[in-house]
Amino acid sequence: MSKRIDINNLNVYYSSFLAVEDVSLSIEPKSVTAFIGPSGCGKSTFLRTLNRMHEVIPGARVEGEVLMDGVDLYGEDVDPVTVRRHVGMVFQRPNPFPTMSIAENVLAGMKLNNKRLSKSDADDIVESALKGANLWEEVKDRLDKPGSSLSGGQQQRLCIARAIAIKPDVMLMDEPCSALDPISTLAIEDLIADLKDQYTIVIVTHNMQQAARVSDKTAFFNIAGTGKPGKLIEMNDTPTMFSTPSEKATEDYISGRFG
């Protein structure tokens, strides 16, 4: 259910532009790892290499290794489509399919994997995924309504339900709360704490309090200047990172001196 990720010497490119330079780090299973850093430092770009969504952009490519329990996701016989079925992703802005109902949204990924689902199986999956995303109580009476009829925070939890319905090994979250109000943010953070029991979670966030609240480990990314590649500055246990970081840049960023 949850896997370990080891990244070795990863360089991320947009065509010839080097966006993220030489990152090596390890992500523990059943833990929450937060990526923090100023805008443009490449943390989202880096996150998107973990499910091979980066290469969706024309010209985008990587060099290096991403090992998922020892298997290189960028190995020759690896199909990015299969990788994405094992690594779920939640985006910055909630993106339920507007033409699908709430239930259909939850089942969207399942339908890709096995076309035939009995009605009762489908109902079970919808219920357990929505319960897993702490959304069941709010929507159980209107599962056939469009997903876009929900509030922003509910839509984001619907997207999480959609991602966990396919039982991924890893869950990537790209600033999942940046478009949400504080109460919805709290709901998502509670959910992340629950999901940690089952999944390896990687979250990108601009909000340092959020990183401190939800994550076990924190990685700080920084950029030397516009046009320069982003780099991993340091990574450590979250309490250590926020109390006694070993790098000056980390301390400056965390204490609000820049960024």
Partner 1 sequence: MFTNQRRARVTTTQEPPAPQADAQEYSTHPGAAANRLFGGLSAGAATLILVTLAAVATFLLIEAWPAMTASSAELSDKVHWLGTESNETLLATIGFLVYGTVLISAIALLIATPLSIGIALFISHYAPRRLAQGLGYLIDLLAAIPSVVYGLWGAIVVIPVLQPFYEFLERYLGWIPLFAAADDGSVSGTGRVALSAGIVLAIMIIPIITAVTREVFLQTPTLHEEAALAMGATRWEMIKMAVFPFGRSGMIGATMLGLGRALGETMAVYMILSPGLTFSPYILQAAQHNTIASYIALQFPEANQDGVSALITMGLALFVITLLVNMLARWIVSRRADFDGAN
Is there binding between residue 91 and partner 1 (CB under 8 A)? yes
Q: Which residue, 10 or 166, has its beta carbon nearer to partner 1?
A: 166
- Count the residues of the shown chain that bind partner 1, applying the rule CB under 8 A: 32
Query: Which among 205, 206, 230 has a CA at the least distance from the CA of 14?
Result: 230
CB atoms within 10 A of CB 216: 15
Using CB under 8 A, which of 51, 154, 156, 184 touches partner 1?
A: 51
DSSP string covering 136-155: HHHHTT-TTSBGGGS-HHHH
Q: Does 193 bind partner 1 (CB under 8 A)?
A: no
Q: Cα dist. 220→235, 245, 255 in Å? A: 6, 10, 13
Tell me how far apart the alpha carbons of residues 34 and 27 are, in angstroms, rounded to a whole number.
10
**Where are the extended beta strands (E) located within 28-130?**
32-36, 60-68, 71-72, 87-90
> To which H or E segment does residue 187 belong?
helix 182-195
Instruction: Please report whether residue 71 would count as binding partner 1 according to CB under 8 A.
Output: no
Residues numbered 117-156 forming contacts with partner 1, rule: CB under 8 A = 146, 148-149
- Nearer residue to partner 1 within complex by CB, 90 or 192: 90
Q: Does 1 bind partner 1 (CB under 8 A)?
A: no
- Cβ–Cβ < 8 Å for 165, 129: yes
Q: Lay out the sheet containing 5-14: strands in order across.
A: 71-72, 60-68, 5-14, 17-27, 230-237, 217-223, 32-36, 200-204, 170-174, 87-90
Is there binding between residue 97 and partner 1 (CB under 8 A)?
A: yes
56 lines the binding site for partner 1 (CB under 8 A) = yes
How is residue 51 written in tokens? 């499910």
Task: Please report, as residue ranges, which positions from 101 to 120 form the binding site for partner 1 (by CB under 8 A).
Answer: 101, 108-109, 112-113
Binding mask 160-179 for partner 1 (x = CB under 8 A): --xx--x-------------
Residue number with CB closer to partner 1 (109 or 230): 109
66 near partner 1, rule: CB under 8 A = no
100 binds partner 1 (CB under 8 A): yes
List residues binding partner 1 (CB under 8 A): 51, 53, 56, 58, 81-86, 88-89, 91, 93, 95-101, 108-109, 112-113, 146, 148-149, 159, 162-163, 166
